């Protein structure tokens, strides 16, 4: 885990995503009651790429939570650099234990590539109380896109993320957890490459040289390379889907 985190520290994102996709998701939510000055919680904000976009496009008061201190430091540096410290902040806080946050404190909950840590259904159920009545959610989740799943992709994800479901299954699960599904859309392939797998591939190549002959590093780098290669070959069959939800009362 230490090597895995070292490989990822300093990357622009820690999951597939893009600034245009975050903007698009906010644009789609706007007509559904997003106020002008929303209180926003970015759950598992990582180094803060989506956090900063939320700060810019919502104009609201945006809080990010994460557990990994180097990511929180990166996110704080981005806030400071943008001069947005009056209305944006980050806190070390677990998404699994949200006692520090009052009921109904947020207009918008955000989670790009992070709800899987709590579990899609469990996270949605637990986080619901943080929303004001009619509050909104934008989150991404790894999702099967194709009916026919190539054997290699299926074997990989059955081992790495057996909870992965289809878009229709996740929409049904969100409804069962107390939300209306307003919209959902798959992230385009650029959102995997430009800010995530591209920078990660460069990092893998550099670390192969730096840690040549170290079996522990080789295992971590091989695993990252295999995941990237799988997406290159079978990325039509799975992807990250943005789910846009509204709390039902
Ligand atoms: C796959 S990354 C996504 C990060 C970010 N949203 C992004 O798109 O770049 C998942 C994030 O969840 C954080 N995390 C892991 N367990 C957590 C927990 N229990 N509470 C809060 N954050 C957690 C990790 O440190 C990491 O930053």
CATH code of the domain covering residue 98 = 3.40.50.150
Residue 227 in any domain: the answer is no
Query: Percent of the chain scored above 90 by pLDDT?
Result: 96
| Substitution candidate for ligand 1 out of 19, 117, 242 with most atoms within 8 A of CB | 117
**pLDDT tens digit sequence for 210-233:** 999 999 999 999 999 999 999 999
Range of the domain at 122: 15-189+237-247
Q: Look at the chain and report how many structural domains it folds into.
A: 1
Question: Would you give the DSSP letter of residue 128?
Answer: G
How many angstroms is it from 235 CA to the middle of ligand 1? 23
Res. 194: pLDDT tops 90:
yes
Residue 73 in any domain: the answer is yes
Give the list of residues 6+ apart from residue 108 with CB closer than 8 angstroms, or none.
29, 34, 38, 39, 40, 41, 54, 58, 60, 135, 136, 137, 138
Nearest residue by C-alpha to atom 26 in ligand 1: 46
Question: Would you give the DSSP letter of residue 126?
Answer: H
Task: Quote the mean pLDDT of the chain.
Answer: 97
Measured from the Cα of 114, ligand 1's closest atom is: 10
How many angstroms is it from 114 CA to the middle of ligand 1? 5
Task: Locate 93 and state its tokens.
Answer: 């806080």
Residue 214 in any domain: the answer is no
- The mean pLDDT of 50-71, rounded to a whole number, is 97
* pLDDT of res. 80: 98
Measured from the Cα of 49, ligand 1's closest atom is: 9
* pLDDT of res. 131: 98
Measured from the Cα of 71, ligand 1's closest atom is: 27
How far from 223 is each of 70, 166, 209, 247, CA to CA, in Å?
23, 25, 16, 38
Task: Locate 246 and state its tokens.
Answer: 């509204």
How many angstroms is it from 45 CA to the middle of ligand 1? 6
Confidence of residue 1 (pLDDT cuts 50, 70, 90): confident
CA 6 to CA 64: how far, in whole Å? Answer: 21
Residue 220 in any domain: the answer is no
Query: Percent of the chain scored above 70 by pLDDT?
Result: 100
CA 117 to CA 92: how far, in whole Å? Answer: 16
**pLDDT tens digit sequence for 145-173:** 988 899 999 999 999 999 999 999 999 99
Measured from the Cα of 12, ligand 1's closest atom is: 9
**pLDDT tens digit sequence for 36-59:** 999 999 999 999 999 999 999 999
Residue 72 in any domain: the answer is yes
| Substitution candidate for ligand 1 out of 5, 6, 14, 139 with most atoms within 8 A of CB | 14
Residue 210 in any domain: the answer is no
């Amino acid at each position: 885990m230490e090597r895995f985190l070292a490989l990822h520290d300093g990357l622009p994102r820690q999951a597939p995503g893009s600034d245009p996709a975050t903007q698009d998701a906010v644009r789609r939510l706007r007509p559904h009651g997003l106020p002008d000055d929303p209180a926003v919680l970015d759950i598992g904000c990582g180094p803060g790429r989506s956090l900063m976009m939320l700060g810019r496009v919502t104009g609201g008061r945006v809080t990010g939570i994460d557990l990994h201190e180097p990511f929180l430091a990166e996110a704080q540096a981005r806030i400071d650099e943008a001069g947005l410290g009056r209305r944006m902040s980050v806190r070390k806080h677990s998404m699994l234990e949200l006692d520090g946050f009052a009921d109904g404190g947020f207009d918008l909950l955000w989670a790009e590539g992070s709800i899987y840590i709590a579990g899609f259904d469990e996270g949605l159920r637990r986080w619901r109380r943080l929303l004001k009545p009619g509050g909104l959610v934008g989150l991404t989740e790894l999702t099967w896109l194709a009916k026919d799943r190539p054997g290699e992709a299926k074997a990989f994800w059955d081992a790495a993320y057996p909870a992965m479901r289809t878009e229709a299954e996740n929409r049904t699960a969100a409804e069962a957890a107390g939300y209306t599904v307003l919209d959902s859309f798959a992230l385009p392939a650029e959102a995997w490459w430009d800010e995530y797998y591209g920078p990660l591939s460069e990092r893998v190549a550099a670390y192969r040289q730096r840690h040549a002959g170290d079996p522990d590093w080789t295992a971590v780098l091989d695993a990252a390379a295999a995941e990237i290669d799988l997406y290159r070959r079978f990325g039509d069959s799975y992807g990250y889907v943005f789910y846009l939800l509204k709390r039902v009362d």
